A and B are shown apart, each in its own frame.
Chain A
Amino acid sequence: MTDIILENVSKFYAEILGVNRVNLTIPPGVTSLVGPNGSGKTTLMNMIAGLLRPSRGRVTVCGISPDDAERFFRIVGYSTQYDSFPRGLTGFEFVECYLRLFGYSAKDTKRLAWEAIDRVGLREPSARRIAGYSKGMRQRIKLAQAISHRPRILILDEPLNGLDPLARAETIALFQALAAEGSHVLISTHILHEVDLISDRVIMMNQGYVVAEGQIRGMRDEISEHPMQVLIRCDKPEYLASRLFGENQVVEVRIHADRAGLLVRTRSADGFYKLLNHIALNGVQIESVSPADDDAQSVYEYLIGSEESTK
Chain B
Amino acid sequence: MTPQPVAHNWSLWGRQILAIMRIDLRKTFFSKRGLWIYLLAFSPEIPMVGHWLIPTHGPQDTLGQDVQIFSGIFQFFYLRIAIFFGCVGIFSNLFRGEMMDKSLHYYMLAPVRREVLVVGKFLSGLTAAIVIFGGSTLLQFPAMFWHHGRELMNAYMFQGPGLSHLASYFVASVLACIGYGSLFLAAGVLFRNPLIPAAGLLVWEGINGFLPALLKKISVIYWLQSICPIPMPAPQGNNKGALLQLLVIDIDPAPAHMAVINLLLISTFVIVWAALRARKLEIAYGTD
B105 in contact with A97 (CB, 8 Å):
no
Q: Separation in Å of the B178 CB from the closest CB of chain A? A: 25
Considering only residues 22-73 of chain A, those with a C-beta below 8 Å from chain B are 46, 49-53, 67, 69-73
Task: Confirm or deny: B284 has a beta carbon within 8 angstroms of a beta carbon on chain A.
Answer: yes
Interface of A is mostly: loop
Chain B interfacial residues counted at CB < 8 A? 39
Contact of A88 among B7, B27, B114, B282 (CB under 8 A): B27
A101 in contact with B107 (CB, 8 Å):
yes
Task: Confirm or deny: B239 has a beta carbon within 8 angstroms of a beta carbon on chain A.
Answer: no
Task: Confirm or deny: A245 has a beta carbon within 8 angstroms of a beta carbon on chain B.
Answer: no
B106 in contact with A86 (CB, 8 Å):
yes
Considering only residues 238-292 of chain A, those with a C-beta below 8 Å from chain B are none
Q: How many A-B residue pairs have CB under 8 A?
A: 96
Cα–Cα distance between A70 and B109 once the two chains are bound (Å): 10
Counting chain A residues whose Cβ lies within 8 A of the other chain, the interface size class is 35 or more
A52 in contact with B3 (CB, 8 Å):
no
B282 in contact with A103 (CB, 8 Å):
no
Among listed B13-21, B160-168, B211-219, interface-contacting one? B13-21
A80 in contact with B19 (CB, 8 Å):
no
Q: Separation in Å of the B43 CB from the closest CB of chain A? A: 25
B22 in contact with A97 (CB, 8 Å):
yes
A46 in contact with B283 (CB, 8 Å):
yes
9 contacts between A and B (CB under 8 A): A73-B111, A74-B111, A84-B101, A86-B23, A97-B23, A100-B22, A101-B16, A101-B107, A103-B15
Given contacts A13-B287, A52-B283, A100-B22, 17 further A-B contacts (CB under 8 A): A46-B283, A51-B282, A53-B280, A67-B279, A69-B108, A74-B2, A82-B285, A84-B101, A86-B23, A87-B27, A88-B26, A88-B30, A100-B16, A102-B111, A103-B12, A105-B3, A105-B6
Give the interface of B toward A (CB within 8 A). 2-3, 5-7, 11-12, 15-16, 18-20, 22-23, 26-27, 30-31, 98, 101-103, 105-114, 279-280, 282-285, 287
Give the interface of A toward B (CB within 8 A). 13, 46, 49-53, 67, 69-74, 77-78, 80, 82, 84-89, 97-98, 100-105, 108, 112, 149-150
